[in-house]
Amino acid sequence: MSEPKVGFISLGCPKALVDSERILTQLRTEGYQITPTYEDADLVVVNTCGFIDAAKAESLEAIGEALRENGRVIVTGCMGGQEAQIRAIHPQVLDVSGPHQYEAVVNAVHTYAPPPKKEANPFVDLVPPQGIKLTPKHYAYLKISEGCNHRCRFCIIPSLRGDLVSRPIGEVMDEAQRLVDAGVQELLVISQDTSAYGVDTKYRTGFWQGQPIKTRMLELAQALGDLGAWVRLHYVYPYPHVDQVIPLMAEGKILPYLDIPFQHAHPDVLQAMKRPAASEKTLERIHTWRQMCPDLTLRSTFIVGYPGETEAQFEYLLDFLQEAQLDRVGCFAYSPVEGAAANALPDQIPEEIKQERLERFMQTQAQISAEKLAAKIGRELEVLIDDVGDDGAVGRTAADAPEIDGLIYLLDDTQVQPGQRVKVKVTEADEYDLWGQRV
């Protein structure tokens, strides 16, 4: 009997990708074949994203395409929380489950494409213990918690995913160790609020390899730092206790990189957004961090044109950018998300003003980024190679997270391997990327 084949479409953010990996790992372990084509598949699983309206539309379109091309479709992920909306447009989907309901998805697959009998499946033990990765083999996302205790007015994550639930630290460390054992060179720690890790468990003491270890960001960063891979922290908020991880960065235990979604700088806008750590003295904090770790890369995202944002508040944000000298910055013009509290706020900003602010913001930051990258010319940096082609190799420095930050190009260098870490001297820079040569 041939193995049942499952097609898999993964949409959305890195967090959804981790969900996809878990589901795929499970299915593969049970003997399913994962197929890249609709025609081959006995059914198709679509892992959806429901974060913003554009993502929802993309999800509905992907479901529609899978239905047209294959006909047997199971829906899961963020948008699965809105089953009625999905069924109103695509009544023929076989099953709908919400985010991280791995068991429900896998059960639905069992129902509509029964798993092969054990004895007909001699390949079970060939599944690598770290699971099937959808990302390049040498970096992996490590999801440390689900949900969020904050209630930012523009966000519907808490209503989609509920309050913060931290994974036990022993389980997270086991997963990290398996990934590193399987050759992963870079662990990207993700969650909705990494600085809040363990709050829900009152920082319970767990165990890993027979040793007590607290469920807390500092202890997690220390333990991950001992594994030997690059460790990158995403979605951290500027709380005072974040200061404690900076020495680990200065010592080189974890990457000197913090991804902090500030979203704005003006205290009144932050308060209107109901942002966590809104009252922290961010500039002072950044200054202290840089004193402790001069090589620290700060990445952030911002929203311009939030309801009620005045021209003066926006200019305050531009001044903040000049002062903070952040390394990597993303910016979005505010757009309402169905179900978000911010939709009901007065003083929505006209579209043309939002766009105009977005442009001014990006121009300001482009200049800062270009200067920051130019300052790297002549330095020797460690680079993790992502890809090698006929024209050379491309990789990233500690300052660059995959998919969202910049790259470093090693022209004509074809003698390196993806996943290899090499020393590179930077020879050129523009506002996003670097060029260099191996030393």
Residues in the site for ligand SF4, rule: CB under 6 A?
Answer: 148, 150-152, 155, 157-158, 192-193, 276
For residue 161, the minimal CB distance to ligand SF4 (Å) is: 8
For residue 409, the minimal CB distance to ligand SF4 (Å) is: 33
For residues 432 and 426, give the distance between their C-alpha atoms in angstroms, rounded to a whole number: 13
Return the structure tokens found at 145: 């918690």
For residues 172 and 115, give the distance between their C-alpha atoms in angstroms, rounded to a whole number: 28
Question: Which residue in 166, 301, 331, 157 sits closest to 234, CA to CA?
Answer: 301
For residues 35 and 69, give the distance between their C-alpha atoms in angstroms, rounded to a whole number: 14
Return the number of the residue (155 or 229) whose C-beta is nearest ligand SF4. 155
Return the number of the residue (185 or 195) whose C-beta is nearest ligand SF4. 195
- Cβ–Cβ contacts within 10 Å for residue 387, how many? 12
3-state secondary structure of 136: coil
For residue 176, the minimal CB distance to ligand SF4 (Å) is: 23
For residue 54, the minimal CB distance to ligand SF4 (Å) is: 17
Q: What are phi and psi of 298, to 5 degrees?
A: -110, 125
For residue 203, the minimal CB distance to ligand SF4 (Å) is: 19
Cβ contacts of 121 within 8 Å, gap of 6 or more: 3, 30, 31
For residue 153, the minimal CB distance to ligand SF4 (Å) is: 9
Report the binding-site residues.
13, 49, 78, 148, 152, 155
- Cβ–Cβ contacts within 10 Å for residue 80, how many? 25
Return the structure tokens found at 316: 């305050």
Cα distances (Å, whole numbers) of residue 302 to 89, 163, 321, 324:
33, 23, 10, 13
Cα distances (Å, whole numbers) of residue 392 to 166, 388, 412:
42, 6, 4
**407 close to 396: Cβ distance less than 8 angstroms:** yes
In the chain, the amino acid numbered 333 is: A
For residues 191 and 216, give the distance between their C-alpha atoms in angstroms, rounded to a whole number: 13
> Taking the alpha carbons of 57, 144, 21, 418 in that order, is the dihedral positive or negative?
positive
For residue 398, the minimal CB distance to ligand SF4 (Å) is: 25
Return the number of the residue (128 or 330) whose C-beta is nearest ligand SF4. 330
Return the number of the residue (51 or 361) whose C-beta is nearest ligand SF4. 51
Q: How many helices (H) and strands (E) does the chain have?
A: 12, 20
DSSP 338-407: TT-GGGG-S-PPPHHHHHHHHHHHHHHHHHHHHHHHHTTTT-EEEEEEEEEETTEEEEEETT--TTTS--
